[in-house]
Structure 1
Amino acid sequence: MHQSTILKRKIFSGIIIFLVFYFTNTNAQNAHSTSQLQLPTQEYKVKFTWLGDTVNAKWEPYSALLIPVRLPGCPKQLYMQFDLGAPHSLFYKNTLRAIRAKYFNSVPVIDTSSKVHDMVFLLGNQKVLAKEIGLKDFGDTAISRDSKGITVIGTLGVDLIDNKTAIIDYPGKQLMISNEIPGMLKSRVPLSPFMYIQGSILLPALIRGKQSLLYFDTGSSAFELLTSKEICNALAMPNTSPVSYPVKSWGKTLTANTVATADSLILASHKLPIKFATYIEGASDTQIQQMMKMGIGGMTGNKLFLNTILVLDTRNKKFGVVSK
């Protein structure tokens, strides 16, 4: 797969490892430090687009949620993936170097610690200043002048919405970020508390009458619900066999098993249908048991919310879902 597609195939076993480490290791370093982004203080909206890719030999139109960005002096439309599974925004080093080679003044000097300083970019039509931002050794080593090609230059993480309200209008393909929930929307959306810990979002969910927590990640679009085999079997339609296929996670090849379901789950008093649920074979039983004991039932991403507006108020740790 071409690097610019940036489909983050986050696999359940990796999420288990992450969550167990994150929430049980009391000596872990706080991953949610002060943001180095100077963001607009006023409410703003930006349209987003979807990037498609092939998953398990099938075309997946919602592989990645991309936000349009521009760099000064660079005429090409660029994009960053909106990824609330990442605590911090970052740029892809290889791509920035390729842009700097063609448009020298668009990208500051990349220092020896793989960071850039005082980098300006436009998020939609809003100016953002990255006083300091990290680089990942990733991305395309050359960029095309072809206006039809999509060039992804980095990731917009949780620091984009920290202490703010994010309103993700999936049907309208629009992200709004404000200091509070607009009054007209607030009257329509029943709000519920969620867990916001070190830049991670955990949404309380009711799955088949049982309370659970779902790790929410907009960087993961390929699956509606990644969960345990037990929950998948309970959700599966009668006489349905799982579709199995290999997936890569942390250097290992695991097996994803997806079952069709006509069931649903409840988030913030809103009933959301589930068409498919997936479990992964190859994860450690110990890790799964630790996760289940913490009440974490799995992970969800964009696909569950495609017909809704999702409201995330990180300042007050409240969220809501409304159909559009």
Structure 2
Amino acid sequence: IKIDGINQTFFMQFDSGSSTTVFYKKSLESIAKKFQNQLKIDTKNNEISSSFSIGNMKIVSNTFEVLNYGEEISFDNPNAENSIGTIGTDLLEKRITVLDFKNNQCSFIEKIQENDFSDFEFKKRKILIPSIIENENLKLLYDSGTSGYELITTKEIWQQYRLKNSVLKTEKGNSWGNTLHVYSASAKKKIQFDKLILNLSEVTYIEGTSDLQKFLMKRSGMQGMIGNKLFLNHKLILDCKNEKIKLE
């Protein structure tokens, strides 16, 4: 991304599990120190008024939230991917989003010919995609922040889908500074999105998720989360305004 008035490229993580776009305070403070008078952080309300661009698209708001998170910018390292915030699904409300994982490209466009699109839910800016596993209809939250996982679900469904003799992979995850314990096992299932059937080769569950996340999971009726790993050789097109989706 490019911030208006600053001749430097920064990075933001696209997180479809986050309903709002937020900036990281520690990163912004180091930018403000180097480029004085270009950024003004409202430390009292933890907000910033800013405009930035992704390619040719410009995003402007008087009230971006600022989180007490992030790291100082490494200005001297030309290869540093300085992450200064998270782009949330508020950005998707006014554009059709094309995520081309095969070619590592994303596009935010105003119009597209919507042939062979299917329905999904965009509840409270959450992307809930219908799918089928073993003839069971599931509603799955697409959370690009869980990018390295295929399907994250409850411990009960995890036990049901996993290959019983597969090696258990354990690791620690991080969610806004909170440590999570992540358990993955091999699976050999098919997961269907509309007419497209993909192989589900791994299933995961997480310990350490907050009671609020568990409550939201039950409230929305979703049975799990899918990350980017399932879509790596595909193109995902999301029209959040009209709740239409296509996976190619």
By the TM > 0.5 criterion, same fold? yes
Shift of 1:250: 8.3
TM-superposed CA distance for 1:241, in Å, is: 3.9
Out of 31, 56, 62, the residue aligned to residue 131 of structure 1 is 62
Q: 2:129 maps to which residue?
A: 203
1:160 maps to which residue? 91
Displacement of 1:320: 1.4
Please list, as runs of the form range in 1=range in 2, the aligned pairs for 1:3-22 lying within 5 A after superposition. Answer: none
CA distance in 2, matches of 1:277, 1:239: 14
Residue 213 of structure 1 is matched in structure 2 by 139
Corresponding residue for residue 104 of structure 1: 36
Aligned residue identity for 1:192: S
Is 1:268 aligned to residue 200 of structure 2? no
- Number of aligned residue pairs: give it: 247
1:121 pairs with one of 52, 57, 61: 52
Distance 1:89 1:290 in 2: 20
Deviation readout 1:275-315 (Å, 9 max, x if unpaired) = 21112356799x96995696421111211111111111111
Q: CA deviation digits over 1:231-260, x for unaligned, max 9?
A: 323333353242334556688765432111
What are the residue-to-residue correspondences of 1:1-324 with 2, within 5 Å? 69-117=1-49, 119-180=50-111, 182-183=112-113, 186-187=114-115, 190-237=116-163, 239-247=165-173, 255-281=181-207, 291=217, 295-322=221-248
Q: What's the CA shift for 1:153?
A: 0.9
Other structure's SS at 1:233 match: helix
Q: Which runs of 5+ in 1 are unaligned?
A: 1-68
1:87, distance to aligned residue in structure 2 (A) = 1.2
1:9 aligned partner: none
- 128 and 247 in structure 1: CA distance in 2 versus 1, 3 angstrom threshold: closer
The answer on whether the counterparts of 2:133 and 2:189 sit within 8 Å (CA) in structure 1 is: no
Mapped contact 2:183–2:206 kept (Cα < 8 A): yes
Q: Distance in 2 between matches of 1:234 and 1:154?
A: 37
Report deviation, 1:196: 1.1
* Cα distance in structure 2, aligned partners of 1:164 and 1:78: 22
Q: Mark the CA change 1:178 to 1:148 in structure 2 (over 3 Å): closer, same or farther.
A: same
Cα distance in 1 for partners of 2:47, 2:243 equals 31
Deviations 1:95-133 (A, max 9, x none): 11111111114323535212122x222212333322321
Q: Residues of 2 paired with 1:272 and 1:230: CA distance? A: 22
- The superposition leaves residues 79-100 of structure 1 with CA deviations (integer Å, 9 ceiling, x where unpaired) of 1111111111111111111111
| Structure 1 counterpart of 2:28, one-letter code | L
Corresponding letter in the other structure for 2:168 = P
